[in-house]
């Protein structure tokens, strides 16, 4: 990036660590409802939360983004396209000058929707796919999910949507498929995005079995060094920088500083991987506005103050990895001022082994999983096929019971 | 001396236009209409909705130059308006050229019909 580093304190990352008046980008989970039940879901999605923000509340939040000059928002869920007002909200954002990148498992991407999306400069689409083959993908995301994703990718390509994203969470089982993912992206005129598996949400249950082995982390790093220029990573592998060369990106934890998460009921968390009361900064409705939470919450103020690296400070690589991911540490029961569980020097593994068995590992604060989910990774419900575009559906649905099992309850 | 801009590849899509117009600092340039500018204490964030490229302008002086482009007869004139010291103009011109190379800037009289971020004709 730069030829020489200016004195510490004036670097861009130092400024970012002190926080900005508005996030650079933020993630907004629009709904916890989902047609899938991925075993590693960050937000433990499945059922809609009956307190979900209304269309008008969502539009008011978008208006705030526009006023704060948030360039774009990453919309996710759950499966955001199951909200009947989804396209209405996308239109509201784009006409307000707020770009939208939304993550989908392919559910709402019909040929007609793909045509519409291809015509918009302000909308980007991210198709989640966690295996380059049906077997590897469906083991994590559920039976039928590979075909659903590939179908959506086909529709986008046929519509001429170039450069949509194929979003892959790196796991023990798909790291051998990195080249296959790249081919899949090339074949669809798409761009590959690879992010880190976090032990958040239901991911806490499967992290030990799914997270890349130490050798695979090295394989991933080497692959990214060679191929990473055209691969997006959401800055999620900065803990691998300690292998040597920094990977492209900011290489800092942006939680509460340059990024945050808004959940379907308007709760604001420090980052998408930290849905837990410990990282809850406030609520856009209860606190009056998103800007109030972003600028004034105690939690974010604290995150923007100098952080202690604890034992990591003496490590020669601390400046590049910064102690790794806060959420990964938290949900594996490690102290926040110690090493990341996937520390490339192995200190994380040591710390995991030395965990105090008497001290419980924090659990996600809420679970929206459908009760029928008998075992993680093996969803029993059929994957719903892509439905018709719902651009003109009525905004407010009837009230639903908190215990409604249908992920689309209230959306009919 | 640190380069006054940094492009952020982690959020960047490849630039889709085939050839950038030749850069001439004696000619007038302007911000691409698909680019939003958010002033920040360190300078500014530039976001190109077309290429989805986020660029950090790490220097308030460079931001002043960018804001002066509109209404200036050349990049050189914009640097004067932005109070760039004479000895720094080569460096700032290089930064402007990099912004032009990534489509953040357009020659003043370029048609705006080039806003096809996804490569649609």
Each residue of A14-55: pLDDT tens digit?
778 888 889 988 999 999 999 999 999 999 999 999 999 999
242-301 of A, contacting B, C-beta below 8 A: 248-250
- What integer is the mean pLDDT of A270-292? 96
Question: Mean pLDDT lowest for which of A248-257, A387-396, B4-13, B97-106?
Answer: A387-396
B6 in contact with A, Cβ within 8 Å: yes
**Tokens representing residue A45 in the block:** 């999605």
Average pLDDT of the residues in A187-197: 97
Q: Averaging pLDDT over each range in A117-121, A188-192, A408-412, B47-51, which range is the top one?
A: A188-192
* Band of residue A101 on the pLDDT scale cut at 50, 70, 90: very high
Of the given ranges (A256-270, B10-24, B59-73), which has the lowest mean pLDDT? B10-24
Closest chain A residue to B115, measured at CA: A121
Measured between alpha carbons, how far is A319 from A340 in angstroms, rounded to an integer?
14
Q: Is B36 on the interface with A (CB under 8 A)?
A: yes
Give the confidence band of B5 by pLDDT, cuts at 50, 70, 90. low
Q: Do A6 and B14 touch (CB under 8 A)?
A: no
Q: pTM to 2 decimals? A: 0.84
Q: Does A161 touch chain B (CB under 8 A)?
A: yes
Mean pLDDT of A192-221: 96
Mean pLDDT of all residues in A75-102: 96
* Cβ of residue A237 closer than 8 Å to a chain B Cβ: no
Please tell me if residue A122 touches chain B, with a CB cutoff of 8 Å. Answer: yes
Exposed/middle/buried for residue B19 (C-beta within 10 Å: 0-12, 13-18, 19+):
exposed
Residue A241 banded pLDDT, cuts 50, 70, 90: confident
Residues of A in contact with B34 (CB under 8 A): 121
Q: What is the pLDDT of residue B4?
A: 65
- C-alpha torsion sign, points B47, B52, B56, B57: negative
Cα separation, B16 vs A162, in Å, equals 10
Given a cut of 60, is residue A404 above it in pLDDT?
A: no
Show the tokens assigned to A231.
């691969």
What ipTM did this prediction achieve?
A: 0.76
C-alpha B103: how far from its chain's center? 7
Kindly state the percentage of chain B with pLDDT values over 90: 55
A390 CA to chain B: closest CA distance, Å? 24
A292-345 pLDDT, tens digit per residue, is: 999 999 999 999 988 888 889 899 888 888 889 999 999 999 999 999 999 999
Q: What is the rounded average pLDDT of the residues A222-233?
A: 91
CA gap A217, A175 in Å, rounded: 9
Cross-chain residue pair B36–A97, CB shorter than 8 Å: yes
Task: Please tell me the distance from the alpha carbon of residue A284 to that of residue A57, in angstroms, as a whole number.
Answer: 9
CB distance from A362 to chain B under 8 Å?
no
């Amino acid at each position: 990036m730069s030829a020489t580093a200016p004195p510490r304190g004036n670097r861009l990352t130092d400024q970012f660590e002190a926080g900005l008046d508005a996030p650079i980008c933020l993630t907004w989970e629009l709904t916890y409802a989902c047609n899938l039940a991925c075993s590693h879901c960050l937000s433990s999605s499945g059922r809609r939360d009956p307190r979900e923000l209304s269309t008008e509340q969502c539009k008011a939040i978008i208006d705030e983004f526009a006023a704060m000059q948030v360039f774009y928002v990453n919309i996710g869920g759950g499966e955001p396209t199951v909200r009947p007002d989804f396209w209405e909200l996308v239109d509201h954002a784009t006409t307000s000058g707020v770009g939208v990148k939304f993550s989908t498992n392919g559910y709402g991407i019909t040929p007609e929707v793909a045509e519409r999306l291809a015509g918009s400069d302000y909308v980007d689409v991210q198709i989640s796919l966690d295996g380059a083959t049906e077997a590897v993908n469906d083991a994590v995301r559920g039976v039928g999910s590979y075909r659903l994703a590939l179908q959506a990718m086909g529709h986008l390509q046929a519509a001429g949507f170039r450069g949509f994203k194929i979003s892959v969470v790196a796991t023990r089982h798909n790291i051998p498929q990195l080249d296959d993912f790249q081919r899949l992206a090339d074949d669809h005129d798409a761009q590959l995005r690879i992010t880190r598996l976090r032990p958040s949400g239901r991911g806490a249950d499967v992290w030990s079995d799914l997270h890349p082995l130490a050798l695979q982390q090295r394989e991933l790093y080497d692959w990214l060094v060679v191929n990473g220029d055209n691969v997006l990573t959401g800055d999620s592998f900065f803990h691998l920088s300690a292998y040597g060369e920094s990977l492209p990106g900011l290489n800092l934890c942006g939680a509460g500083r340059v990024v945050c998460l808004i959940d379907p009921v308007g709760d604001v968390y420090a980052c998408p991987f930290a849905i837990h009361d410990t990282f809850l900064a406030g609520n856009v409705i209860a606190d009056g506005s998103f800007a109030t939470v972003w600028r004034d919450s105690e939690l974010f103020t604290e995150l923007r103050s100098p952080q202690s690296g604890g034992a990591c400070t003496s490590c020669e690589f601390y400046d590049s990895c910064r102690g790794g991911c806060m959420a990964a540490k938290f949900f594996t029961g490690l102290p926040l001022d110690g090493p990341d569980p996937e520390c490339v020097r192995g200190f994380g593994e040591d710390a995991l082994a030395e965990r105090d068995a008497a001290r419980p590992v924090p659990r996600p604060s809420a679970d929206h999983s459908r009760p029928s989910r008998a075992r993680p990774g093996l969803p029993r419900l059929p994957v719903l096929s892509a439905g018709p575009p719902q651009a003109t559906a009525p905004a407010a649905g009837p009230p639903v019971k908190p215990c409604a099992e249908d992920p689309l309850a209230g959306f009919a | 001396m640190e380069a006054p801009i940094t492009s952020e590849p982690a959020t960047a899509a490849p630039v889709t236009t085939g050839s950038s117009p030749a850069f001439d600092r004696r000619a007038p340039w302007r911000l691409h209409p698909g680019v939003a500018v958010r002033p920040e204490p360190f300078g500014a964030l530039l976001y190109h909705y077309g290429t989805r490229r986020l660029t950090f302008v790490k220097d308030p002086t460079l931001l002043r130059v960018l804001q002066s482009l509109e209404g200036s007869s050349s990049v050189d004139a914009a640097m004067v308006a932005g109070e760039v010291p004479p000895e720094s103009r080569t460096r700032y011109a290089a930064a402007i050229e990099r912004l032009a190379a990534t489509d953040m800037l357009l020659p003043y009289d370029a048609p705006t019909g080039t806003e096809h971020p996804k490569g649609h004709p």
